[in-house]
Structure formats: C-alpha cells, structure tokens
Structure 1
Amino acid sequence: MRPMRPIFVTGNENKLREAERILGVSLERADPGVPEIQSPDLGEVARAKALAAREALGRPPRPVVVEDSGLVIEAWGGLPGAFTRWFLAGVGNEGILRMLSAFEGRSARAICVVAIADASGEVRTFRSEVSGSIAPEPRGSGGFGWDPIFVPEGSRLTYAEMGEEKHRSSHRARAFRAAAGWLRKET
C-alpha cells in the first residue's frame, strides 16, 4: 500500500518548500481559506486552524498539517507573537526596526507550532522555540518574512544569511522534525 501524503495547509509557497525540505517528503498543498482565530497563543491558533482546515477539506483520511510561527520581541512584552504575519504586512521589517529603536534590548524568540489533525480529528501539536536577537538592520537575501532581522543565539548571521543551516536549526526545522516521527507512523 502506498503511503498517503499529508496535506499541508498554507498559502505560502516558501513555507511549503521549507517544510518539504525539512521533512524530506512531498506534501500536498491545500489552501481552503479557513479564517485564523485571533489569539496571542500560537498553539491555540495552530490547533484551531488544523481542525477548521480538516473540516473545510471534507475530513480527509490522512493528516492535515498546519504551521504557525511568530516572532516574540521581549522589549514589547512578547509582541507581535501570534500576530507577526499581520504586523509584517503593516510595517515590514524596516518598521519593526524603526519602532524597536525606541526600546532597550533586542532579545527575541522565534516560535513555531506545527499542528496535525489526524483522520479521527485528534490534533497533536509540536512546538519549538529558538532564542536570539533582532539585528540592527535587515541582512541577507535568503528566507522570507522576518528572516533578515532575526539572529539566533550562538550565531552572528540572520536566518536570511544562513542558507542550508537555517533548515537544520530554525524554530520551524525543530518543530517539523518533532512532527516527522509521528507523521511517518501515520502515513
């Protein structure tokens, strides 16, 4: 019997390619346009989106995978967090840097939650967090989103400057690797 490809729910082609590279498998992409709940908790957002996507896709007999990531800036009390996508759409990386200049400290965390709804509707979540800091200016041409401004702890490079190393050590890589073992058993 041929294994069933998990369905990865995203409208972001970059996330799809990154997930496939990390997992080492081909994913079927779907974008059913499910609304994202507004919550400061990335796990809650990912869990709700996995269940809503499973329903919108007609309760498929294979895993439905969603991913939600956020940039947590300590000087801002954890913002933008689960609202990072909307924040970037409004002000971009340059806007984040401009606003952060009024604060002391550049500590930040990159958080990723992968949520998988199985055929029965049960949802499992896999969370990873990478500590780091916000660079003084955008650097690098790789990656996407806020990759040009996030420097993981122990590195001098932003995610956008790292290339393949990012796919081994990022918040997203760690969360997807944690999910990979479960996915292999289920598909």
Structure 2
Amino acid sequence: MPALRTLTFVTGNAKKLEEVCSILQGVVNVVSHTVDLTEIQGTAEEVAKDKCRRAAEALNGPCIVEDTGLIFNAMGHLPGPYIKWFMESLGHDGLNRMLVGFGDKSATATCTFALSNGPGTEPIIFEGRTLGEIVQARGPKVFGWDAVFQPQGHDQTYAEMPKELKNTLSHRSKALALLLQYLKDEDNMAH
C-alpha cells in the first residue's frame, strides 16, 4: 500500500483542523502549522490566494490554507468572507437579527481552499458551496455559525447533524473533494 500524501494545512483553528482531518482520513495525511497571517480584505479567492502565498513563503514549502464565508443572499453577499468578524461581534442571535427585515433567509456557505506548491508559485483555488438558510440557533454553539445554518433539503443545522453527515455535504467537504481530485489527476504534490 503506498504511503499517504502529506499536506501542510496552515490554520490556527482547531475545529477546522479536526474537520479537515476527519474528511481526509485515510486519503491524505494532514499536518498543521500555525503561521500568523494578517488577512487582506477582498473576495474569498483573493483572501485565500494571498494567505497561501505568504504561508508558502513562511514555511518555504507547499501548503494549503482555507477561507470560509457565509453569504446572506438578501444582503448582496454579505457577510461573505468577513463572517468571522460578524460572528465575533454579533454572535448567533445577531446574525439572525441582521435578516429581520428581509423575507429571504437563504444563504450560501462557502469554503475556499488554496494550494501552493511552494514559494513563488501561483496558488490554485478550490471552492465548495452549500445552499441553505439562516435559522434560529439550534444545536451546540461550539463551531462558528454552524448552529444557525441549515443546509437545503435538511431539517437540522450543521451543529445538530452528526459529524459524519455534515462532512459529506458541507461546503468544506465539497472544496476538499475538488482538491483531492486535482491531486489525483495532476499528482503535483511531493510525497
């Protein structure tokens, strides 16, 4: 049996790391590294590419980074990639209050992974999206905005779902599926 490919995931978020490791278990060996990176303002793709370039320089090697967003369709794509700051400032109830005046509670969860093959290389982007809606917080409030996002076609929020189910339909799992397909097709990463 060939050795698993190893990817360095640059993140300081233990919950993201746990989820990525769970999704990639048995397929890719994930090692984490924390690099203090100031995030630029821009689209999710611009933020992910910039973080990935700087992380590859800091590590002097290949890596992946991730940027997550939550788009409220009624608000013209806000909070988008700034959801972390909205969540920290407003909490779950505040996210709901943002949509009080709108009939449209639909939302799109986005996950953008960027892969760099090392310093000086252009990062490659992989984006996953899951459609859903913003609901009153239900389930454990331990992982970002999971308690207020209910995926389309389901009657549970991400927070209420068993991890195994969430990891088959989440925006993160969709982005990672694209990344894995790229690695399989191109075999661009060193073992």
Secondary structure of the structure 2 residue equivalent to 1:28? strand
Instruction: State the Cα distance separating 1:142 from its structure 2 match.
Output: 7.1
Find the counterpart in structure 2 of residue 109 from structure 1.
108
* Distance in 2, Cα, partners of 1:2 & 1:106: 45
Structure-to-structure mapping, 1:10-89, within 5 angstroms: 10-24=11-25, 25-39=28-42, 41-57=43-59, 59-60=60-61, 63-89=62-88
The TM-score normalised by the length of structure 2 is: 0.89
For the 8 Å contact 1:140–1:161, the answer to whether it is kept is: yes
Count of aligned positions:
182
Find the counterpart in structure 2 of residue 8 from structure 1.
9
Secondary structure of the structure 1 residue equivalent to 2:19? helix
Secondary structure of the structure 2 residue equivalent to 1:159? coil
For the 8 Å contact 2:139–2:147, the answer to whether it is kept is: yes
Instruction: State the Cα distance separating 1:5 from its structure 2 match.
Output: 2.1
Unaligned runs of 5+ in 2: none
Letter in 2 for 1:18: E
The TM-score normalised by the length of structure 1 is: 0.91
For the 8 Å contact 2:151–2:157, the answer to whether it is kept is: yes
For the 8 Å contact 2:4–2:29, the answer to whether it is kept is: no
Instruction: State the Cα distance separating 1:177 from its structure 2 match.
Output: 1.3
For the 8 Å contact 2:44–2:81, the answer to whether it is kept is: yes
Cα RMSD over matched residues? Answer: 1.7
Match status 1:180 vs 2:180: yes
Find the counterpart in structure 2 of residue 160 from structure 1.
159
Find the counterpart in structure 2 of residue 122 from structure 1.
122
Secondary structure of the structure 2 residue equivalent to 1:26? strand
Higher deviation after alignment, 74-83 or 92-101: 92-101
For the 8 Å contact 1:114–1:125, the answer to whether it is kept is: yes
TM-superposition CA deviations, 1:35-91 (whole Å, max 9, x none): 11111x10111011000111122x22xx30001110000111110001011111111
Secondary structure of the structure 2 residue equivalent to 1:126? strand
Secondary structure of the structure 2 residue equivalent to 1:18? helix
Percent identity over paired residues: 39
For the 8 Å contact 1:134–1:151, the answer to whether it is kept is: yes
For the 8 Å contact 1:142–1:159, the answer to whether it is kept is: no
* Distance in 2, Cα, partners of 1:10 & 1:19: 11
